[in-house]
Amino acid sequence: MTLSSFLRLICLAAIWGGSFLFMRIAAPTFGPAYLIEFRVSFAALALLVIAWYLKQLLHFRVHARHYFTLGLLNTALPFVLFAYAAQTLTVSMLAILNATAAIWGALIAFFWHRTPLSVKSLLGMGLGIFGVIVLVGWDKTLVSEKLVWPVLAGVLAAVSYGVASNYAKNAPQIPAFDNAHGSMWAAVLWLLPLLPFIPMRAVPDSAEISAVIALGVICTGIAYLLYFRLISEVGAASALSVTFLIPLFGIVWGYLVLDEQVGLNTLGGMVLVLTGTMLVTGFSPATLRAHSSSCMATEIPHFRCQAAV
């Protein structure tokens, strides 16, 4: 991995880690439905401008069923669940729960595609689930019934990413950018019926409005471009290493911007979740160079869903 690719990887992790910060800032005012409707709308518009610049026409009707499925499982549903959780949970907790997506994906693959589970994968799942328990159960401030539903929502959001990744295995083979673009517009449509039933809670201020714009344009639209660029440079396996950096930035942003305290439960839960994810996915930092050198000349592969928030 070259220095420029490494810097892009760090930048992407910082942006996606920041998405939980922006959600935490805006969710209490916007509510989950309006927050995510604005997020995906801004993202869709940003991708539309980029598609116009790249002269890439989106044939939405041809693959409408696929885009609506992907838009629900990989965007609308997990985004809304995380936005609901962001009204209560800290930035670091949201980022760490997001990192469990690969673990749920492997478990779902066992039942859906009959993918065998190795001893290492089972150990990783156990560590990941225990990591969530540590994250929630060792903090005295979290011993409250009102936090049960937000934590469950965060877990279900990660499960939704896992379902999406398994759906993608047999999905139509469509270019990555078109998948991102089409599914974002589908998510816009999915969320519209929720707006009358989940209203905004207050009039947002300028900081909250700015957070929503940044969430859509930077953390979704621009972040996808960075991700696709990384895939083309170092390969999908190396690019996915961003998953392990996002919780670190989630902790940093929460501490620096919102003065969220970082306890032993947060650090311990993060280590357990990330270790479990590495075991399940077979990822190892030592393999980055091998993956990068073998994938440098490949084309951008078809989109395989992941927890990109």
pLDDT at 236: 60
pLDDT at 192: 97
Q: What angle do CA 177, 98, 187 make, to 5 degrees?
A: 40
Position 101: which residue type? Answer: A
CB atoms under 10 Å from CB of 54, counted, come to 10
- Which two tokens mark 149? 């539903």
Please give the model's pTM, rounded to 2 decimal places.
0.87
The Cα–Cα gap between 166 and 194 comes to 26
Region 128-132 average pLDDT: 88
Domain boundaries, the chain: 3-295
The dihedral of CA 299, 302, 305, 309: what is its sign?
positive
| pLDDT band at residue 131 using 50, 70 and 90 as cut-offs | confident
The Cα–Cα gap between 294 and 108 comes to 29
DSSP reduced 3-state for 309? coil
- For 290-301, write each residue's pLDDT tens digit: 544 444 333 333
Closest CA to 153 of 199, 221, 85, 218: 85
CB atoms under 10 Å from CB of 206, counted, come to 7
Cα 92 to Cα 44, 148, 198, 249, distances in angstroms: 27, 17, 26, 8
For residue 235, pLDDT beyond 70? no
Structure-derived torsion over alpha carbons of residues 295, 272, 267, 259, reported in degrees to the nearest 10 = 70
- Which two tokens mark 240? 């996915």
User: How many CA within 13 A on the CB side of residue 304?
Assistant: 13
| pLDDT band at residue 82 using 50, 70 and 90 as cut-offs | very high
- For 203-213, write each residue's pLDDT tens digit: 999 999 999 99
DSSP reduced 3-state for 199? coil
- For 22-61, write each residue's pLDDT tens digit: 999 999 999 999 999 999 999 999 999 989 988 888 989 9
| pLDDT band at residue 243 using 50, 70 and 90 as cut-offs | confident
Closest CA to 247 of 13, 22, 83: 13
